[in-house]
Each structure stands twice: as C-alpha cells, then as structure tokens.
Amino acid sequence: MARLKTAVLISGRGSNLQALIEACAAPDFPAEIALVISNVIEASGIEHAIKAGIPVRIVPHRDFKTRAEFEAALDKILRAAGIELICLAGFMRVLTGGFVDAWNGKLVNIHPSLLPDFPGLDTHRRALEAHKRFAGCSVHFVRDEVDAGPVIVQAAVPVLPGDDEHKLAARVLTAEHKAYPLALRLVAGGRVRLSGNQIEIDGKPGPIRLNPVA
Ligand code: GRF
C-alpha cells in the first residue's frame, strides 16, 4: 500500500507528533511520517522523531530575515523530501498566504478549542471564563486566517467542576491524541473531499465529531 508522505512541523513538546507516530505504526495506516521539522532547536518533541527513526530538520525561524524567506526554506525542504501532506502539531509560527495557498488542501493543523470558538491563544482559560460546558479540539485545513479553515475532526470533552486551565488542557490533550490520528487517517485515505470551505467525509458533510471523549 502506498502511504501518503507526511511531514509534521513542531515547536515544542510533540505529544501530538508522538500520537501520529504511533498511529502510523499500524500496518493499514494510509500515511507515513517521512519528515519532522522543528523551528526550535530545543523542542523536546524532536526526541520522539529520533526514537522512531524519522528524519528531522531544524529550521530556526530566527535565521531568516523575513517570514517569506523562512517559508521558502521550509517549502524547499518539504518538496525535496517529496512531502504530500503537512501536519502542524504545536508549530508556533503563523504561516502566511503564499505558503498556505501553495499547500492548500495539503496543510492541516490541530487547535485546542472547538472552532470557531476561541481561535488564537489561551483557549482553555477563555473556555473556562466563558463558562462553556464543553471544550475540545479541532483538526482543520489551514487557511490564510489564523485557526480558521474547514474542520475535519472535532473532539469534545466536558468542562468539570473544579477545572483550572491545567486540568482542562490535559483533558483536551487526550482528545487531541485521538482526533489527530483519525483526521490523518481520513485525509491520507482519500476520504475527505474539500471544495472551497465545504468538506465531505465519506460522501457526507463533515466534520466528524467525537463527542465527548473522557
Ligand atoms: C496542542 O495543544 C495543540 O493543539 C496546539 O499546541 C499544543 C501542542 O502540543 N496547537 P504538543 O507539542 O503536540 O504536545
């Protein structure tokens, strides 16, 4: 079986990267992680890639004068490696229009909220302040606007009495580790059709909702 050549871009801990690595270990999984790129040399997630024998490239954004030059360097590395899909997994650089358009439909991200709620940072604090009953995560195709774009998979978790940001983040993270592998399986398996902002999964309107994940 030909597996979709996937790159994972990280900046930090890499727990979602590890979840994707574990998913790709299944013999029937339609994707392989062929490359990991970190823009942060100290990112602890790099270890997960090394342990799994996945090639790693470090591309510090500070080495480039402009975002465009940084993105051109990323693009060159990704294309040289024959990458067909990019998964952003805690990659803390905003990618601009040129890059996003060039990889349209081949660039996905995981965001720790139930989009369109709470794009941007501090999602868990904002969910608590808004007294939401559910929080969660979204795996979505990346568009030029930050944390926007058609959602492929959403996984919800309850907000529980006594939650603080830390407890809620940990619960959402367990949901992320289910949602991202599922989204990658669907995209790499050719089961997701994207037309403008509409998404169909197995011929039905998306997203897939995992509700709720304990
Ligand atoms: C996750 O919460 C993800 O949703 C967000 O950044 C965090 C990355 O965590 N985009 P990790 O590096 O995958 O552990």
* pLDDT over 60 (residue 214): no
Mutate to test the pocket of ligand 1, among 20, 88, 176 (most ligand atoms within 8 A of CB): 176
Return the best residue to mutate from 40, 44, 92, 110 for the ligand 1 pocket (most ligand atoms within 8 A of CB): 110
Positions annotated as catalytic residues are 111
How far apart are the C-alpha atoms of 127 and 107, rounded to whole Å? 26
Give residue 213's pLDDT.
62
Angle CA 17–164–110, to nearest 5: 25
Q: Indicate whether residue 38 lines ligand 1 (CB < 6 A).
A: no
The candidate with the shortest Cα–Cα distance to 30, out of 105, 84, 76, is 84
Nearest ligand 1 atom to the CA of 91 is 10
Helix (H) or strand (E) holding 176: helix 165-188
Instruction: Output the pTM of the full model.
Output: 0.97
In this predicted structure, the answer to whether residue 32 has a pLDDT above a threshold of 70 is: yes
* Pocket lining: 14 vs ligand 1, CB cutoff 6 Å: yes
The answer to whether the CB of 136 is under 6 A from ligand 1 is no
pLDDT in tens, 46-89: 999 999 999 999 999 999 999 999 999 999 999 999 999 999 99
